[in-house]
Amino acid sequence: MALSSELSFGVERREILVRSLIVVWGVVGLGGVAGCEEPGSAAGYEQTVMQERVQRDMQMREKNSVLAPNLRDDFKGLDHYAVDSTYRFVVPLRTRSSPDTVMLPETTGRVRGQVRLGTVTVPLPSGEEQLTVFKGEGDDPRGRLWIAFADATNGDETYKAGRYVDLIRDGDDSVVVDFNRAYNPTCVYNPEYACPLPPAENEIGAPIPAGEKTPKFGRAK
């Protein structure tokens, strides 16, 4: 891609993002690691999540990001709900005695097999929800363990087809389910990607006001 088109991302916006990331790193400390699952203080946890969000926003603006070329000039940045630690849970992972493969529909209209590992029960403010956990293969970009879920914010504040959240193991039998780290499927940024849709059992009737919202696009006036 020509240099002139890459500069269309906006040098000034990129510099602002870099300065923001430096500030976050300074607050968290050089020992802080993105994705650290020890929340520590409420302020420390929020700063860690905010650091991850700035990094992801910067990655979306890189030359080789997943953004479709025709959307790059219009990309205004990622949008998120405020960090809310009440949407972070450490819960038991109930694995199936024999993980199986289920066929999930994709945004392209095709179907693809996904490994169903087990379930978690999440004590949401609206009530408990049992969600199916899938296992990615190798270094799958969704992470080793992940949940595709839909909720009552879809089509309004968040992507109409649902979102994903990666899980982190916490000991032998538990996982961290942190909806503050919920993110949009890649097809939100590039319709050429095929993204699995949430299964019926992962459709949550209540809103999950945490994680990524629908991203901002639009030409500057």
The answer to whether residue 105 scores a pLDDT higher than 60 is: yes
User: Would you list the domain boundaries of the chain?
Assistant: 3-76, 85-202
DSSP the chain: --HHHHGGG-HHHHHHHHHHHHHHHHHH-TT--TT-----SHHHHHHHHHHHHHHHHHHHTSTTSSS-GGGTTTEEE--BPPP-GGGEEEEE-EEEEEEEEEEEEBTTS-EEEEEEEEEEEEEETTEEEEEEEEE--TT-TT-SEEEEEB-TTBTTTB-TT-EEEEEEEETTTEEEEEGGG-B--GGGT-TTS--BPPPGGGB-SS----SB-PPEE----
Q: What is the mean pLDDT of residues 22-34?
A: 34
Look at residue 72 in the predicted model and tell me its pLDDT: 85
Mean per-residue pLDDT over the chain, rounded: 82
pTM recorded for the entire structure: 0.79
Q: What is the mean pLDDT of residues 25-50?
A: 60
pLDDT in tens, 177-198: 999 999 999 999 999 999 999 9
The answer to whether residue 79 scores a pLDDT higher than 70 is: yes
The answer to whether residue 10 scores a pLDDT higher than 50 is: no
